[in-house]
Amino acid sequence: MFNKNIAVSASLVVALSFQAYMPTLALAEPTTQEQALNKLQSLGAELDSIQSELDTKTAQMEDTQVEIDKTQAQIGETTQKLDVAKQTLAKLTRSNYKTGSGSVLDVILESSSFEDLANRMYYMNKASKENVDAIAAVQQLSSDLATQNQSLEARKQSLEASITSTQAKLADYQQKVDEAQAYFNSLDEQTQQQVESKAQAADEAASSSSGQASSSTQNSSVSTVVHAIKNNTSSSSSSSSSNSSSTSSSTSSQSSTTKSTSTNSSSTQNNSSKTTTQSKPKETYNSYSGAGIESARSLIGVMYKWGGSDPNRDGGVDCSGLVVYSYGTRRGRTTYEMISSLKASGDWKTSISELNPGDLIFTSSGHVGIYLGNNRMIHAPAEGRRVTETTVWAFYGGGSY
């Protein structure tokens, strides 16, 4: 009996041990991959939500800045009018002092005739009315100027509050990106590849002619988080690459002599290749837009700077400043001027499928980027972030520059 129990126990131990190993090995990886997708999908959804809020706040900041610009222009006009009114009042005062306005009694006593009296009374009343009108004009313009200055101060405070709020929301965004990157880096290579495949599938679905990217909400959110991770990595590595640029430049100067020798020996090949290059279309879009894309791409990694349109001069660019740097100011400086210009010229498009690479794309009335095609764009996101390439998350309109 004792030996039989030992045998049964031994059999159970072996069976349980075998059962413990086999199913775990067979099911562990698929479960991990599914969990990874769910986790990244959740983080991507949060990033989408925060990005939408940042977009709204950026639009509000743009609105406020436009109102500030208008108010400052009004203040300038009112100040000029007030200066003119003050000069007019000063001239009237000097004129009255020289000629002497006198009292009514003086006018009567000094009049030589009834006709003279009537003329004196007429000019006296006219001068008095001019004085009253001039004083009233100065008072009204002074009041208008004070009101406009108060409005300007209130809008500036509103802008500062918006910037503070945006920076706080940006910190939330960066925290989520860092969390997503840490989680993604902890995954094994196979799982990372699967995640990237899901992101690529979402991009392809979004850029399809049907535009039905909603076929997989999970894939769309995963795409968001994968692109955010890549942008975060490229931004952090940009500083280290700039530090190494001086070393690479010295290396390139040393190799320039060798390059010149090889260039002379291959001149015939270069000439034939130039002919081929010239006959080949550069891009599917026009050269103007193509140049814009190249200029915009050259600013990837540059910091967002409110009101900036030249990174060398301003230390960064804002969303419309990126367009100005890439194309100029033919369509205006602000997003509102650009939208008005596109509508006035008949170039405004209300469907993303109508856009070509290099066109302007607006995610709202207050935020613009440069469309790359395939549901991708380059834009300057918000305070504290860098110019980046990203998936289009919202569409307000767009058109060719």
Q: Higher-confidence residue: 80 or 49?
A: 80
Q: Does domain 32-203 have CATH number 1.10.20?
A: no
Q: Is the pLDDT of residue 255 over 60?
A: no
Residue 390's φ and ψ, nearest 5 degrees, are: -150, 170
* Alpha-carbon 46 to chain mean position: 20
Give domain limits for the chain. 32-203
- What is residue 316's predicted lDDT score, i.e. its pLDDT? 94
Structure tokens at 94: 């000097």
Q: One-letter amino acid identity for 19?
A: Q
| pLDDT for 74 beyond 50 | yes
**Residue 16 confidence (pLDDT) above 60:** no
- Is 80 exceeded by the pLDDT of residue 318? yes
If pLDDT is split at 50, 70 and 90, which confidence band does 250 have?
very low
CA angle 67, 72, 78 (to 5 degrees): 125
**Mean predicted confidence (pLDDT) in 82-109:** 65
- Of 384, 303, 306, which Cα lies nearest the Cα of 62? 306
pLDDT tens column, 165-180: 777 877 888 888 888 8
Distance between CA 44 and CA 226 in Å, rounded?
8
Name the strands in the sheet holding 397-399, side by side, starting at the edge strand that comes first in the sequence: 388-391, 376-379, 367-373, 360-364, 397-399
Return d(Cα 361, Cα 322) in angstroms, integer. 12
Residue 298 has pLDDT above 80, yes or no: yes
Predicted pLDDT at 194: 85
Output the average pLDDT for the chain. 72
- Apex 378 CA angle, 53 and 319, nearest 5: 60
Q: Tell me the β-bridge partners of 376.
A: 373, 391
**370: which residues sit within 8 A by CB, 6+ positions away?**
292, 293, 296, 322, 323, 326, 358, 359, 360, 361, 377, 378, 379
Q: Which range (89-98, 232-241, 391-400) has the least confidence?
A: 232-241
Radius of gyration of the chain (CA): 36
Q: Quickly state the pLDDT bin for 290 (edges 50, 70, 90).
A: low
Q: Tell me the per-residue pLDDT of 180-237, one tens digit each, with 9 for 90 and over.
A: 888 888 888 888 888 888 877 877 776 554 344 444 566 677 777 787 787 666 555 5
pLDDT tier, 324 (very low <50, low <70, confident <90, very high otherwise)? very high
